Chains A and B, each alone.
Chain A
Amino acid sequence: MLPVASLLILVPLIFAAVTFFTKTKEQAAGLGFLGSLVTLGLTLYAYLNFDSSTAAMQFFESIEWIPSLGVNYSVGIDGISMPLILLISIVIPFLILYSWKEDREAPNRFYGLILTMQAAVIGVFVALDFLVFYIFWELTLIPLFFMVNIWGGEKRVHASYKFFIYTHVASLVMLLGIFGLFYASWQQTGVPTFDIRELVTQFQFFESSLLRDAIFLSIIFGFLAKMPAFPFHSWLPDAYSEAPTAGSVLFVLLKIGGYGLFRISLPMLPNTGNPNLMITILGFLGSFSILYGALVALRQKDLKRMIAYSSLSHMGFVTLGAAGLVTLSVSGAMFQQFSHGLIMSILFMSAGAIQTSTGTRIINNLGGLAKKMPKLTVVMMVGFMASLGLPGLTGFIAEFLVLTFSYVNLPGFVLFALLAIVITAGYHLWAMQRAMFGVYNEKLGDISDINSLQVFSMGVIAILVIYFGWNPNPVLNMMITNSEAIVSLAAALGV
């Protein structure tokens, strides 16, 4: 059996390193594409050899690294990480195809950074040691920072620094929590270890409930700021909208915050000093993000900013579903991460294509684009419909699961979030109607439709959105298996 988990980090990293040294755009894009294809191949290999019926860790590898601190390089894949690895491995090759024909300076760095980002994100997903986890977690900052800082829009410097400082500080708070966890467990057992699963297990034995709460809150703060969830989201609209299209898509694929929630925070939650309070906080943040994101999206003039806020709204479902603590609500939250990644990729690619063709993203300055850009309109329509939750597409499944099953434990918050459904449909349809349909705005001049590579790459993702909308089982099954494990743990403790 291949050591897939390590290879999934190494392959993109090596291709990234080589891509940095290429000279021409064709070489850079070609090598980047090849690297992402190999990664996709490895991911499919892992997926096909994956056993969805067990919540145990698969493809496990462990090598001793710093024995005196109990640090091991240990990696593995389970039902929480597999779908997310699948998501990023699927989208990245199409992202490279999508941006193939764009002209930009330093293409070698552009594609090199995309692959670095992929390696870092997969590294976070497979890491089973807190130190390894944290290293990859921080590594994701670097490509995103440069992506915005170099190729971003007008306010790129402001946006990139804001993003960097905001999430870096949040990560440092998380690091403090990890240290606390590490030492408290060391004191408890007399053996230092950074093993995530071991530390999460040890967590319940710490005597001081204040310590447990402090650790839990500081770690989850890092996750919530990264997702992001209201009120830690203010870096999001700037970073998402100033980033180049590929950068925005990379942000969307940065599912590490939500992943941390499922991998680390949820198993810890039942053992905190006051689990019900924590659940209430999470439920509130989730449902409020949903409503707040939708309301703010409604009044955006800039198409990309609107999509950014709708992303905040969608990520609220992840928090809400996690707080629901029922097998299917947690699975729904996990599925929302997967589905959101696909849908938002289409939306940001569409917004990027519109900006390239028309030179503007202000919704009111567009109009009737469907006449000039029919291919884009079709794909974009799929993305928008999925985003607003039309049955038959992935967004519906995720949101339906979250809302229906979170109702069991958190009826108030679900009702609150339901208000957003109408608004969500409203701003999507309204934006679509103003930008794409109606009379063509002649001021835009003669514009061209998306190129064939873009049609292909966006089309494939759109087809996946439809496919998983009808048949979510290929990824949903493993999510359910793992959610059951998390929830049964909580149920055993009477939460």
Chain B
Amino acid sequence: MENLMFLAPELAVVVTGLIVLLIGVFMSPQAKNVLGYLATLGVLAALALTIQSFGTEATMFFGTLSIDALSQFFKLVFLAVSLIVSLASIKYNENSDHTEEFYSLVLFATFGMMVVASANDLILLFCAFELASLATFALAGFEKKNARSLEGAMKYFIIGAISSALMLFGISYVYGATGTTSIPMIAENATLLAENPIGLVAVVLLIAGFGFKMALVPFYMWAPDAYQGSPSVVSSLLAAGSKKMGFVAAFRVFIVALAALQPDWQFAFTLLAVVTMTFGNVVAVSQTSVKRMLAYSSLAQAGYIAMAFVVMTPMALTGGIFYTLAHAFMKAGAFIAAGAVVWMITSQKTGNLDIPDHLDSFRGLGKRMPLAALSMTVFVFALAGIPPTAGFMAKLVLFSSTIQAGMTWLAVIAILNSALSLFYYARLVRYMYFLPPEGKKIGMPFPYAAALLLAVAGVLAMGIWPEPFMQWAMDAAQVLI
């Protein structure tokens, strides 16, 4: 019998999800508000259990599941995002009849991501990947009567389904060449793949499969639509959480399992990283919808993180892993802040109701919703890499590691991109603080306020006192090397 205590965080999440789903059926829409708090508590418990389990190592279920520093770090990422999202969703789901479905989907998606983080076998990895994907497909289309939400969800679903097929196809080649789906075993038999042209095909297919989740150019097409159309809390989960699932899967599969093919995938990631960050930043400049702008900025950030695959030094991997947590806080927070503004516009019924997240809705936000404006400022400055925020520390470690590896050209590209991104982030700040407000001051609902403060705390904690996070990220990077 396996010691299930190692899975306590996962169990906490999935059990909470089931309870929420079950008892929600018997509740009136008004009483369902309590479900949000229940889900939040469940995630909080899982978070506590994860942090408490730091340092333990185990493999379970015939070596298909590995509990190590890497999986624990990414569980921390997913649970932090899930916590922020569940908290903010309390307001979003107020008096809705579908609260229990929403929360159980969020929790199941989180569960799927957590299993991906610890999966040590390609089949398990694929199943968990699908669990998380299916739950987020449904969440993206959660507003049934909103055409944008449906359009985004549809694109997300179709491209997602094709990518899953590609990924599975890639896995089948890997299995065909090596005769195993276990990641450590593949690594042992990697020469079989490296000597066989099938190995190259498998790498291409797997990059396409993971690249979809990571939203790297050219697999990003769904992302802007899905991020803009989905309810903001869901965009937050997609951009901050499920994107990182692609990264942790890619970390394990490429760096551990397919290490023998490093020259091949490293070349591909070099290209993807440079194109993604540049494209994301250039396109973000011309966006007028803030959520869409955040979507493109999220592309750019994925491009930065992908640099870890290019540089591949311990420092770079530490930076990449640190960056995922930093990005989780900044992006989750930024989408929640955008969500608060959308809520303000739609509940006031003034302004651009067709595109409620238009830049114009942010005019004078500093006067209308001071907390939302202040936290948004922290998030966008963090995304731009301005000290003392998490984004600065992440960029410091990641970008500087490229210099250490002698890839000055890559550092120059990344830094120029970073300078460019400051333009559209600063524009948002200008709208919020230096343009006159169009409307009166609005009281901030508690759930949004709590979620925003949580994300701000994360961003600032990682920026001002990065040492513990850096240590965790270093431990996680050790697993890969």
Bound-state Cα–Cα, A66 to B464, Å: 9
Q: Which of B408, B418, B470 contacts A69 (CB 8 A)?
A: B470
Q: Which of B388, B403, B415, B422 contacts A183 (CB 8 A)?
A: B403
Query: Is the CB–CB distance between A176 and B403 below 8 Å?
Result: yes
A135 at the interface (CB under 8 A from B): yes
Bound-state Cα–Cα, A139 to B397, Å: 20
Bound-state Cα–Cα, A149 to B393, Å: 28
Known: A135-B388, A176-B411. A183 touches B400 (CB 8 A): yes
Q: Which interface class (under 10, 10 to 19, 20 to 34, 35 or more) fits B?
A: 20 to 34
Query: Is the CB–CB distance between B419 and A176 below 8 Å?
Result: no
With a cutoff of 8 Å between Cβ atoms, the chain A residues found around residue B419 in the complex are 165, 168-169, 172
Bound-state Cα–Cα, A175 to B434, Å: 30
Known: A135-B388, A176-B403, A176-B408. A168 touches B416 (CB 8 A): no
Within 8 A of B (CB), among A28-71: 65-69
Cβ contacts B262-292/A at 8 Å (1 or 0 each): 0000000000000000000000000000000
Query: Is the CB–CB distance between A66 and B403 below 8 Å?
Result: no
Query: Is the CB–CB distance between A179 and B388 below 8 Å?
Result: no
Known: A169-B419, A175-B415. A180 touches B467 (CB 8 A): no
Bound-state Cα–Cα, A138 to B411, Å: 18
Query: Is the CB–CB distance between A150 and B474 below 8 Å?
Result: no
Query: Is the CB–CB distance between A66 and B415 below 8 Å?
Result: no
CB distance from B341 to the nearest CB of A (A): 22
Query: Is the CB–CB distance between A68 and B471 below 8 Å?
Result: yes
A230 at the interface (CB under 8 A from B): no
With a cutoff of 8 Å between Cβ atoms, the chain A residues found around residue B471 in the complex are 68
With a cutoff of 8 Å between Cβ atoms, the chain A residues found around residue B400 in the complex are 179, 182-183
Query: Is the CB–CB distance between A179 and B411 below 8 Å?
Result: yes
With a cutoff of 8 Å between Cβ atoms, the chain B residues found around residue A135 in the complex are 387-388, 392
Bound-state Cα–Cα, A179 to B402, Å: 9
A250 at the interface (CB under 8 A from B): no
Closest residue of chain B to A106 (Cβ to Cβ) is B434
With a cutoff of 8 Å between Cβ atoms, the chain A residues found around residue B399 in the complex are 179
CB distance from A180 to the nearest CB of B (A): 6
Bound-state Cα–Cα, A179 to B407, Å: 12
Query: Is the CB–CB distance between B415 and A176 below 8 Å?
Result: yes
A490 at the interface (CB under 8 A from B): no
With a cutoff of 8 Å between Cβ atoms, the chain B residues found around residue A139 in the complex are 387
Known: A179-B399, A179-B411. A66 touches B470 (CB 8 A): yes
A119 at the interface (CB under 8 A from B): no
Query: Is the CB–CB distance between A180 and B470 below 8 Å?
Result: no
How many residues in A have their beta carbons less than 8 Å from beta carbons of B?
A: 22
CB distance from B321 to the nearest CB of A (A): 13
Closest residue of chain A to B464 (Cβ to Cβ) is A65
Q: Is the interface of B mostly helix, strand, loop or mixed?
A: helix
CB distance from B364 to the nearest CB of A (A): 12
With a cutoff of 8 Å between Cβ atoms, the chain A residues found around residue B397 in the complex are 69
Bound-state Cα–Cα, A175 to B419, Å: 12
Closest residue of chain B to A214 (Cβ to Cβ) is B408
With a cutoff of 8 Å between Cβ atoms, the chain B residues found around residue A150 in the complex are 434
Bound-state Cα–Cα, A179 to B412, Å: 12
B184 at the interface (CB under 8 A from A): no
Bound-state Cα–Cα, A67 to B466, Å: 10
Within 8 A of A (CB), among B99-117: none
B168 at the interface (CB under 8 A from A): no
Closest residue of chain A to B399 (Cβ to Cβ) is A179
Q: Which of B387, B415, B467 contacts A172 (CB 8 A)?
A: B415
Closest residue of chain B to A146 (Cβ to Cβ) is B434
CB distance from A158 to the nearest CB of B (A): 14
Q: Which of A67, A68, A149, A183 contacts B404 (CB 8 A)?
A: A183
Known: A68-B470, A176-B412, A183-B404. A168 touches B422 (CB 8 A): yes
Query: Is the CB–CB distance between A67 and B467 below 8 Å?
Result: yes
With a cutoff of 8 Å between Cβ atoms, the chain A residues found around residue B393 in the complex are 66
Cβ contacts B72-104/A at 8 Å (1 or 0 each): 000000000000000000000000000000000
A84 at the interface (CB under 8 A from B): no
Closest residue of chain B to A169 (Cβ to Cβ) is B419
CB distance from A39 to the nearest CB of B (A): 21
Cβ contacts B414-436/A at 8 Å (1 or 0 each): 01101100100000001000100
With a cutoff of 8 Å between Cβ atoms, the chain A residues found around residue B416 in the complex are 169, 172
Bound-state Cα–Cα, A214 to B415, Å: 17
B396 at the interface (CB under 8 A from A): yes
CB distance from B422 to the nearest CB of A (A): 7
Within 8 A of B (CB), among A119-152: 131, 135, 138-139, 149-150
Closest residue of chain B to A182 (Cβ to Cβ) is B400
With a cutoff of 8 Å between Cβ atoms, the chain A residues found around residue B467 in the complex are 65-68
Bound-state Cα–Cα, A69 to B388, Å: 16
B386 at the interface (CB under 8 A from A): yes
Query: Is the CB–CB distance between A180 and B422 below 8 Å?
Result: no
Query: Is the CB–CB distance between B388 and A131 below 8 Å?
Result: no
Bound-state Cα–Cα, A65 to B392, Å: 15
CB distance from B425 to the nearest CB of A (A): 12
CB distance from B424 to the nearest CB of A (A): 13
Query: Is the CB–CB distance between B387 and A138 below 8 Å?
Result: yes
Query: Is the CB–CB distance between B408 and A138 below 8 Å?
Result: no
With a cutoff of 8 Å between Cβ atoms, the chain A residues found around residue B422 in the complex are 168
With a cutoff of 8 Å between Cβ atoms, the chain A residues found around residue B474 in the complex are 68
Bound-state Cα–Cα, A167 to B261, Å: 42
With a cutoff of 8 Å between Cβ atoms, the chain A residues found around residue B430 in the complex are 149
Bound-state Cα–Cα, A172 to B397, Å: 15
With a cutoff of 8 Å between Cβ atoms, the chain B residues found around residue A66 in the complex are 393, 466-467, 470
Cβ contacts B373-393/A at 8 Å (1 or 0 each): 000000000000011100011
Cβ contacts A177-220/B at 8 Å (1 or 0 each): 00110110010000000000000000000000000000000000
Within 8 A of B (CB), among A158-177: 165, 168-169, 172, 175-176
CB distance from A94 to the nearest CB of B (A): 28
With a cutoff of 8 Å between Cβ atoms, the chain B residues found around residue A131 in the complex are 396
Bound-state Cα–Cα, A208 to B75, Å: 44
With a cutoff of 8 Å between Cβ atoms, the chain B residues found around residue A67 in the complex are 467
Query: Is the CB–CB distance between B396 and A180 below 8 Å?
Result: no
With a cutoff of 8 Å between Cβ atoms, the chain A residues found around residue B470 in the complex are 66, 68-69
Query: Is the CB–CB distance between B403 and A180 below 8 Å?
Result: yes
Of A69, A139, A150, chain B has the most CB atoms within 10 Å of the CB of A69
Bound-state Cα–Cα, A169 to B416, Å: 7
Query: Is the CB–CB distance between B386 and A138 below 8 Å?
Result: yes
Bound-state Cα–Cα, A180 to B400, Å: 8
CB distance from B114 to the nearest CB of A (A): 27
Cβ contacts B449-471/A at 8 Å (1 or 0 each): 00000000000000000110011
With a cutoff of 8 Å between Cβ atoms, the chain B residues found around residue A68 in the complex are 467, 470-471, 474
CB distance from B61 to the nearest CB of A (A): 34
Bound-state Cα–Cα, A183 to B387, Å: 21
Q: A150-B434, A172-B416, A172-B419 are in contact. List 16 more A-B contacts (CB 8 A).
A: A68-B467, A69-B396, A135-B387, A135-B388, A135-B392, A149-B430, A168-B419, A172-B418, A176-B408, A176-B411, A176-B415, A179-B404, A179-B411, A180-B403, A183-B403, A183-B404
Could you list some 22 contacts between A and B, CB below 8 A?
Answer: A66-B393, A67-B467, A68-B470, A68-B471, A68-B474, A69-B396, A69-B470, A138-B387, A149-B430, A165-B419, A168-B419, A169-B416, A172-B418, A175-B415, A176-B412, A176-B415, A179-B399, A179-B400, A179-B411, A180-B403, A183-B403, A186-B404
B interface list, Cβ under 8 A from A = 386-388, 392-393, 396-397, 399-400, 403-404, 408, 411-412, 415-416, 418-419, 422, 430, 434, 466-467, 470-471, 474
A interface list, Cβ under 8 A from B = 65-69, 131, 135, 138-139, 149-150, 165, 168-169, 172, 175-176, 179-180, 182-183, 186
List the 10 closest A-B pairs by CB distance, nearest first: A183-B404, A179-B403, A179-B400, A135-B387, A172-B415, A68-B470, A66-B467, A66-B466, A180-B403, A168-B419
